[in-house]
Chain A
């Protein structure tokens, strides 16, 4: 019983916080609400008997990536979004990116409604044991999924090298 209650509580926090992320004018609050949403997600992982995934979620997303987001938002001193113009104009007349975003949102809603109303989906316990032990995760990561794992690391390396090249000013050899 308390499990169900906790699930709905954490789920509600995750959904409401995510909705508020896009409803904020102030980007700092958006970042903080996204962190709250990640926190609720990690609570859901704990309920799924996956404490390792829960803690990694906090360390990687809430602890590292969002700090960088906050850093960037603070350094650029991003102003409050100016929405006066957008609110005067009819939704269909707004600039192109907004219409594109609206189309994507409609597609997402249709998909969600379709997925949730579909009958005969899986429910209850998953077959096979949960991969909760760190050893099991590590073993499958370095054997079965070794190739995607290594390719991801190269992808990140490429992004890092690209950032260094872009950030380096010409004629400032040290």
Chain B
């Protein structure tokens, strides 16, 4: 076992637990922010400022009874939350979140802060996003309940519709970045134009960023696109019949997906770990700050905007977002060709 190998295994463990903790932290942030936006206090009793509330919730969920409807398909009912949760974690494997580090000289070669440097990383993220629809669809079908089935069907229609725009937004960034590797794309965003404006792709691709963010919210089934679990119409949508830890896995998957979409957006549009003041080896602090800002935006939007109607969602996806993203891709391609970037 070389020191580098040990460090890499350590990195995998750290990322996994950081994602779980981030999900727990996001639950607290979401509840406190929601409360603040509605002029309430939110959870403040468990731990300092209610920080231990998510852990209390997890313990509560663990001691709940695991229920399964009699008419449910036992195997698929158990498999669906596993698919959801593992897809959520798998996508983060190709997301870089920092430059090379030597851990204060502990290891001779630099350790890149990324689990697997795949040269088609963008496509891997997209592929895993397209696989995660199975968790929701199967949960809806195997529960054998009408609310669950409707939630599952809605979510598959929604995710297929918005995946196209999502893919187009990714494609326009990789045209500008001229690479499919996330590490390369981040490294091309180092430095600044005219010494002031950071060389981030959000300034080259403002429309692409908006499309990515909108489609990303739809992909993660968050408000205002939370149709698969629209409470007022479908009780709880695809996870109506789930309880205890299998419900917790869906919950975890949703928050981890939010973190992953924000992290990919940071890498693609916000310059990843590049930023002023901090040295290259501490770039991950910039990365965390940017991801945090995007996550804040997520929560802010959820508690500000009401849910669309389902036909509005479909019309918006196919008649507004998709044409916009195609135009954006064409203009980007023409620009790249003309300026020879």
Interface residues of A (CB under 8 A from B): 28, 32, 35, 51-52, 55-56, 58-59, 62-64, 67-68, 70-71, 74-75, 134
Contacts and interface: CB of A to CB of B under 8 A. Distances in A.
B131 A63 contact: yes
A71 B153 contact: yes
Contacts of B138: 32
Given A67-B160, A74-B141, A134-B180, A62 B131 contact: yes
A67 B134 contact: yes
Contacts of A35: 134
A51 B118 contact: yes
A49 to B, nearest CB: 11
Nearest to A51: B120
Nearest to B124: A55
The 10 closest A-B pairs by CB, nearest first: A63-B130, A58-B127, A55-B123, A59-B127, A51-B120, A55-B127, A55-B120, A74-B141, A52-B120, A71-B156
Contact of B120 (A63, A70, A134): A134
A68 B149 CA distance: 15
B20 interface: no
27 contacts: A28-B76, A35-B134, A51-B119, A52-B120, A52-B123, A52-B180, A56-B123, A58-B131, A59-B123, A59-B126, A59-B130, A62-B127, A62-B131, A63-B127, A64-B160, A64-B163, A67-B137, A67-B160, A68-B160, A71-B137, A71-B153, A71-B156, A71-B157, A74-B149, A75-B153, A134-B120, A134-B180
A74 B131 contact: no
A2 to B, nearest CB: 16
Nearest to B132: A63
Nearest to A46: B118
Which of B131, B141, B156 counts the most chain A CB atoms within 10 A?
B131
Contacts of A62: 127, 130-131
B152 interface: yes
Contacts of B73: 28
B170 to A, nearest CB: 11
Which of B73, B123, B137 counts the most chain A CB atoms within 10 A?
B123
B133 interface: yes
Interface of B: 73, 76, 118-120, 123-124, 126-127, 130-131, 133-134, 137-138, 141, 149, 152-153, 156-157, 160, 163, 180
A70 B153 CA distance: 10
Contacts of A55: 120, 123-124, 126-127
Given A64-B160, A134-B180, A70 B123 contact: no
A97 B186 CA distance: 57
A35 to B, nearest CB: 7
Contacts of B163: 63-64
Contact of B130 (A64, A70, A71, A74): A64
Nearest to A70: B137
A101 to B, nearest CB: 28
Nearest to A64: B130
B127 A28 contact: no
Contacts of B134: 35, 67, 70
A56 B141 CA distance: 27
Contact of A28 (B123, B141, B160): B141
A67 B156 contact: yes
B209 to A, nearest CB: 22
Contacts of B152: 74
Contacts of B127: 55, 58-59, 62-63
A77 to B, nearest CB: 9
A39 to B, nearest CB: 9
A102 to B, nearest CB: 30
A52 B120 CA distance: 7
B214 to A, nearest CB: 20
A75 B157 CA distance: 12
Contacts of A74: 137, 141, 149, 152-153
Nearest to A62: B131
B126 to A, nearest CB: 6
Contacts of B131: 58, 62-63
Contacts of B126: 55, 59
A63 B164 CA distance: 12
A67 B156 CA distance: 8
B304 to A, nearest CB: 31
Given A55-B126, A58-B131, A75-B153, 11 more contacts: A32-B76, A35-B134, A51-B118, A51-B120, A52-B120, A62-B130, A64-B130, A71-B156, A74-B137, A74-B153, A134-B120
